[in-house]
């Protein structure tokens, strides 16, 4: 019997008290599903590799709790390249995790401009890099959840570029869309399109936006009977 919800993703699944947003769609979904919070491992600015790794590690450490969880996974796209650190970065936020993470984001980290030019000089395709990063993370978690028999739901917090490579499309099509809410868009895109930003110039959702998105997630879960595998 499901009693808890597990949450992982980026800042779209965290509180933003400085902007008077003291909830998020994960917590609102838990209320709608009558579930208690087992843990929230979401962290602002992080990507797919950390998402996959911390989810699997938590499940292996807390297997009895995991068996009672519904897993909500907000994919922040592949343009955030996570890497483990040796300095215990922000370990206090996630005391159950020994591995700590930072992220290289080519859209955000201006100091890496020369590195990006270097990659392009080697023939790197940044769009494909981000898509592969994102898809591999979701496919890994999909296989893991299915093998364990854990019920889950994916959705995008951020969107990747349009897929044009048929090999990339082939593996994207292997993600079970029955358990992927609106894969063609993201919570960020919906927030901006519906004017639900927490403040001007910031695309993070306000309280109403989080509740709206959570309601849609709940309707999708019920329509597809996703509380079981």
Q: What is the mean pLDDT of the chain?
A: 94
Please state the rounded mean pLDDT for residues 129-137: 93
pLDDT at 114 over 80: no
- Using alpha carbons, select from 24, 159, 10, 141 the residue that is nearest to residue 74: 10
Q: What is the pLDDT of residue 17?
A: 95
pLDDT at 107: 73
pLDDT of residue 28: 98
pLDDT tens-place string over residues 50-79: 999 999 999 999 999 999 999 999 999 888
Q: Could you tell me the end-to-end alpha-carbon distance of the chain, in angstroms, rounded to an integer? A: 12
Which residue segments constitute the domains of the chain, with CATH numbers given?
Answer: 4-223 (3.40.50.1110)
- Which pair of structure tokens corresponds to residue 182? 């609106």
Q: What is the pTM of this model?
A: 0.94
DSSP string, 171-218: HHTTS-GGGEESTTS-HHHHHHHTT-EEETTEEEE-HHHHHHHHHHHH
Mean pLDDT for the stretch of residues 150-179? 95
């Amino acid at each position: 019997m499901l009693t808890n919800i597990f949450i992982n993703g980026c800042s779209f699944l965290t509180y933003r008290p400085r902007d008077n947003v003291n909830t998020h769609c994960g917590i609102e979904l838990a209320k709608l599903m009558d579930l208690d919070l087992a843990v929230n491992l979401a962290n602002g600015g992080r990507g797919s590799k950390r998402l996959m790794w911390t989810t699997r590690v938590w499940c292996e450490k807390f297997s009895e709790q995991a068996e009672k969880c519904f897993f909500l996974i907000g994919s922040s796209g592949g343009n955030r390249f996570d890497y483990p650190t040796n300095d215990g970065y922000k370990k206090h936020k996630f005391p159950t995790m020994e591995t700590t993470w930072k992220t290289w984001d080519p859209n955000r980290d201006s100091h890496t401009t020369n590195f990006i030019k270097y990659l392009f000089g080697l023939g790197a395709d940044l769009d494909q890099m981000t898509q592969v990063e994102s898809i591999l993370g979701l496919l890994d978690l999909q296989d893991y959840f299915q093998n364990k028999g854990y019920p889950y739901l994916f959705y995008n917090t951020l969107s990747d570029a349009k897929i044009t490579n048929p090999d990339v499309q082939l593996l994207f099509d292997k993600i079970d869309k029955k358990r992927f809410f609106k894969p063609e868009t993201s919570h960020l895109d919906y927030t901006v399109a519906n004017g639900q930003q927490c403040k001007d110039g910031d695309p993070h959702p306000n309280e109403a936006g989080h509740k709206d998105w959570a309601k849609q997630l709940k309707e999708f879960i019920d329509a597809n009977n996703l509380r079981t595998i």
